[in-house]
Amino acid sequence: CFVLQTEHKMSVEEVCRKYQTDIVQGLTNSRAAEFLKRDGPNALTPPPTTPEWVKFCRQLFGGFSILLWTGAILCFLAYAIQAATEDDPAGDNLYLGIVLTAVVVITGCFSYFQEAKSSKIMESFKNMVPQQALVIREGEKVQINAEEVVAGDLIEVKGGDRIPADIRVVSAHGCKVDNSSLTGESEPQNRSPDCTHDNPLETRNVAFFSTNCVEGTARGIVICTGDRTVMGRIATLTSGLETGKTPIAKEIEHFIHIITGVAVFLGVTFFILAIILGYTWLEAVIFLIGIIVANVPEGLLATVTVCLTLTAKRMAKKNCLVKNLEAVETLGSTSTICSDKTGTLTQNRMTVAHMWFDNQIHEADTTEDQSGASFDKSSVTWQSLARVAGLCNRAQFKAGQDSIAILKRDVAGDASESALLKCIELSCGSVRQMRDRNKKVAEIPFNSTNKYQVKTRETHGTSPRGSTSP
């Protein structure tokens, strides 16, 4: 897509005509559904998954299990030789072979079921907190799953949002994006409606899928989705890369080489000695097999599996899910874990719990009937605070939710501003009416540099007046 991309050179009107959209109203719901059916969901194609039977075979025949299988086969071979040459062969080798086989099968099944159970839970996590996108369809702002975004959608992004698709920017207010995951640029890049470079990867009027908007706001038309995005093309190229072995897997492999070398060396040495001392070759072979099997640590695989499983269960009690048992040992040598919190460890939902005004901390009343109010709502300071929280706020309720409790309504907007919107809606009534009485004139969006937001709104028959929200 990006090789032949020319939308950055087109005017906004040309882009709208190409994608059959409207710069104000956006797509219609019917046309969006048509495009979604045509292009498929806005998601990267996942890499091919490993069949379950292959995973099961890896547990049975991978790593240290190979050594035990070799020992079991040699035991059965020794017993077969004894049974063919003796009238009443001893059953020691047969029993040892059965025990080794049982150990390998039981530990392999246990490891497979542990990882299969964890994998299913991890799969369920993917849909727990899906990425959202704010789109404008038929003139209404709608929060939808990012996978439902289609080419031609008119979307809005703000500081802290992830760009849900490749978009052609049509308007921006102090918008900067972090392209480090795509280009390696550590500094945030400005975004504006103007074409500044012939190369679509360098121009400022295109924002790319999976990059982050770090400050400001922007509105744009989606031009590429899913695998057709720039990031999608890169992901396709990297899908064939294989992950390296875990530390414990490397150590076990090294241990197997040592044990195998020692066992074969001792076995061959004693085989030669047995021949020199006058034993028959069958007796010497049985002696060889016995020496090799004796050097196999039969209980090591079961011990390692049990230790890792007990550790995984201990971690599960602390809400830590282990997907791969070998990762437990790797985690044990980890000193620092860096993770994104919002949307990963939390659901990015906030609620106003306390407010500070009149030099006091007041507890917010979150009841629908406002029966738990602990402060004087006639206070001039509270009225000023409520006005700023309601007017200097970009969040708004989605349409058609009048019959739903305020705290349970879906909101299009930032998590912090959504919490303020619900608080003021509960305490002061309709925020929409408040905004209708005070039309917006100008705005400086919040950004991480200034750490404030400013809006200028009309008042009743007087000159415009400003509101500032930190």
Provide the annotated active-site residues.
340
| Rg of the chain taking only CA atoms, in angstroms | 33
Report the C-alpha gap between 374 and 363 in whole angstroms. Answer: 7
* Geometric angle at alpha carbon 468, from 464 and 470, rounded to 5°: 170
User: From residue 190, how far is each of 154, 170, 207, 275 by CA, in Å?
Assistant: 20, 13, 10, 82
Q: CA torsion angle for 335, 341, 344, 348 (degrees, to 10)?
A: 170
69: closest CA among 101, 107, 105, 92? Answer: 101
Place of tokens 């990882």: 115
448: closest CA among 415, 470, 466, 424? Answer: 470
Contact (CB, 8 A) for 205 and 232: no
Which amino acid, residue 8? H
Structure tokens at 129: 């907190």
Of all residues in the chain, what percent are helix, strand and coil, respectively (each to 5)? 45, 15, 40
Separate counts of helices (H) and strands (E) for the chain = 14, 14
Structure tokens at 435: 């905004």
Q: What is the DSSP letter of 258?
A: H
User: From residue 322, how far is each of 61, 203, 333, 421 by CA, in Å?
Assistant: 22, 43, 15, 39
Place of tokens 């703000």: 158
Structure tokens at 338: 């860096």
Which amino acid, residue 179? N
User: From residue 404, how far is each of 86, 400, 421, 423, 426 by CA, in Å?
Assistant: 86, 9, 15, 15, 13
* Geometric angle at alpha carbon 174, from 172 and 178, rounded to 5°: 95
Could you tell me which residues come within 8 angstroms of residue 349 by beta carbon, excluding any fewer than 6 positions away?
Answer: 415, 418
Report the C-alpha gap between 133 and 146 in whole angstroms. Answer: 5
Report the C-alpha gap between 51 and 149 in whole angstroms. Answer: 31
Q: Return the SS3 of 201.
A: coil
